[in-house]
Structure 1
């Protein structure tokens, strides 16, 4: 199109890349390009002889919100006690810190006061009902919890010496296991929420799949759908582990699924 707009019929484009998955299927379903915007991205690419690489095949962002959805079956960790039990232990330890250690720490004059360095019992209670799924929890844990905890632990360990330094280290070694246990409970709850979402997805698409395909894990169904979509040249899937590689390779030997449009449209309608 860019070449034609300059009066040329020749372009040097050979490959294009776009996100595509069960929920983000616009490249296949939505006519919004070409002359008169009457072609889909995949139709135009085929007409122009372009290879199409699709990314994020298993990390979907539904149009109706709700955060990212991981299109895969997620293992749920064993229960390690209730959130309330770990929260209470965490709260008691944080009160002990504010009573015995915080008064000995010089207030930096900006940012948090030493009294507020450890208030995760309260903060996790506030966060708990807001967690949407495992992906959302991992963002909270990696971007909010871990950076703060690591910074404070490093600073206090480096600066507290003598008797108060010894007291700090004893308290820290008691506190961290309880904090980790509390975080694991919330991670488990987030995983269950993700499982409920993926189970609903499978319930929707399985009746539209051939009988043998229904027995496959969701990740393989999602990849198989993309490799069966006319116009898709290559599916770019992150493969950080051996299990991811094996899951992806298994799809390469499968015959294309019939009538993939019905599946994309069913997901689009359900949102």
Structure 2
């Protein structure tokens, strides 16, 4: 079966978020037939969402299961999985060959672990089979080996031995009909072959068979190592994959990792604002926090430990005042909001609803959160203004390099069109968590591939090396 030009990447989607559910439904009903998820995405919530959506659309006779390429991945040990594996270890029945890479971040591709995960994943997805099952970033073994001072040659020998053992197990699963094919998703397929963590497709080809059909790696208009590094017996990973007739999936097409941090390849809408309004909002937020601590909370009998925690949380104003200039980029700011601010906000909402019945207190919290959201939006706007300069830079360069033929496209559309035009790319995975993102990316489906995409990307790469800021 053919893979659609675009695929739905399920990183950071969850079955509890309607917007994510609607986006996947829209994608599938619009002709996208590749879904890529993983055991660790949203701690299993991503796979549950995919399963629910497939059940709904199949039951409604809107899609057929056999028309969908469902791919999931295995290897990460995080979240609930981490707790389970750690408890197994403590009980004396732990899995073999677990790479204890970092705090609450382990990894494993041992057959016993894969079998345990595959059964759980099929249950979450409510599926009898997967079209593709990928080892997910197995290079964690090499990263850990480098950290612990292991010899490079011995590390690579053991690395490919573990992959070979995993493949032999997965061959059995193919024969059982549980998976149709397997492969590897690695961030180091395109790395320099001298780097410790490099994953060689050439080495893997020495022991793989016809069941090994899919590889996945990052590629975007900034990070183009997979198409320029001749790291597989004189060929790039993309060239060698084409010789092996593999399906090639691309991740992170719109998110580039640079020396300056994460760069989002997209347009940013912003509204001009005065600095006076910004500081006025900041002072208002700080005053409301003072009122909450000294007046509202003071009327309740709150455990000293809990009160201390609440006081610490109600310091958004101070934290933002001290740090708003130093987030660096819109991407870094959004990351901080998602991982640091939102969890605290969720905690406050749940705590207040559980412990405080006074309508006045609950309304005050609601007003405070509205002011906090406004403050965060002002800071976001500040960084979007900065990001728009970067977007303009990329748009201008790409317009010049293509002779203006793609001038009318958004930056994200330009980026997707260029990568999808490269020979040998099967599918570009896009994390479109909103329906409007689906609308944006679908526009490239009707566009012809660019015949000079490789030259454009190489020229852009050379110009970026000379540019001080991107």
From 277, 290, 298, give the equivalent of 1:82.
277
Go from structure 1 to structure 2 and tell me whether the alpha carbon gap of 1:116 and 1:46 turns closer, same or farther (over 3 Å shift). Answer: closer
For 1:114 and 1:236, locate their aligned partners in 2 and report how far apart those are by CA, in whole Å. 41
1:96 partnered with 2:252 = no
Residue 224 of structure 2 is matched in structure 1 by: 25
**Deviation, structure 1 residue 82:** 2.0
For 1:142 and 1:112, locate their aligned partners in 2 and report how far apart those are by CA, in whole Å. 23
**Deviation, structure 1 residue 243:** 3.5
Cα deviation code 1:5-64 (max 9, x no counterpart): 45x8x543222211111112111111112x3xx1101110121222212122112222x2
From 214, 239, 242, give the equivalent of 1:43.
239
TM-score by length of 1: 0.84
1:213 partnered with 2:406 = yes
Cα deviation code 1:122-170 (max 9, x no counterpart): 1111221122333222221121112112212322342235xxx455235
**Deviation, structure 1 residue 105:** 4.6
Please provide the CA RMSD for this pair.
Answer: 2.6
**Deviation, structure 1 residue 2:** 4.6
Q: What SS is found at the alignment partner of 2:215?
A: strand
For 2:391 and 2:351, locate their aligned partners in 1 and report how far apart those are by CA, in whole Å. 42
For 1:160 and 1:242, locate their aligned partners in 2 and report how far apart those are by CA, in whole Å. 37
Per mean C-alpha deviation after superposition, the further-off stretch among 108-117 and 231-240 is 108-117
**Deviation, structure 1 residue 77:** 4.7
Go from structure 1 to structure 2 and tell me whether the alpha carbon gap of 1:189 and 1:102 turns closer, same or farther (over 3 Å shift). Answer: same
Cα deviation code 1:219-254 (max 9, x no counterpart): 111111012212212222234444433433332333
1:190-201 equivalences under 5 Å are: 190-201=383-394
1:1-271 equivalences under 5 Å are: 1-2=202-203, 5=206, 10-33=209-232, 35=233, 38-62=234-258, 64-67=259-262, 69-77=263-271, 79=273, 82-103=277-298, 104-109=300-305, 112-160=308-356, 165-269=358-462, 270-271=464-465
Q: What SS is found at the alignment partner of 1:268?
A: helix
**Deviation, structure 1 residue 119:** 1.3
Give aligned pairs, total.
261
Query: Does the 8 Å contact 1:16/1:50 carry over to 2?
Result: yes
Query: Does the 8 Å contact 1:27/1:40 carry over to 2?
Result: yes
Query: Does the 8 Å contact 2:352/2:362 carry over to 1?
Result: no
Comparing both structures, which one devotes a greater share of its residues to strand?
2
Go from structure 1 to structure 2 and tell me whether the alpha carbon gap of 1:216 and 1:108 turns closer, same or farther (over 3 Å shift). Answer: same
For 1:259 and 1:186, locate their aligned partners in 2 and report how far apart those are by CA, in whole Å. 39
Q: Which runs of 5+ in 2 are unaligned?
A: 1-201, 466-470
Q: What SS is found at the alignment partner of 1:101?
A: helix
Query: Does the 8 Å contact 2:420/2:449 carry over to 1?
Result: yes
For 1:82 and 1:40, locate their aligned partners in 2 and report how far apart those are by CA, in whole Å. 53
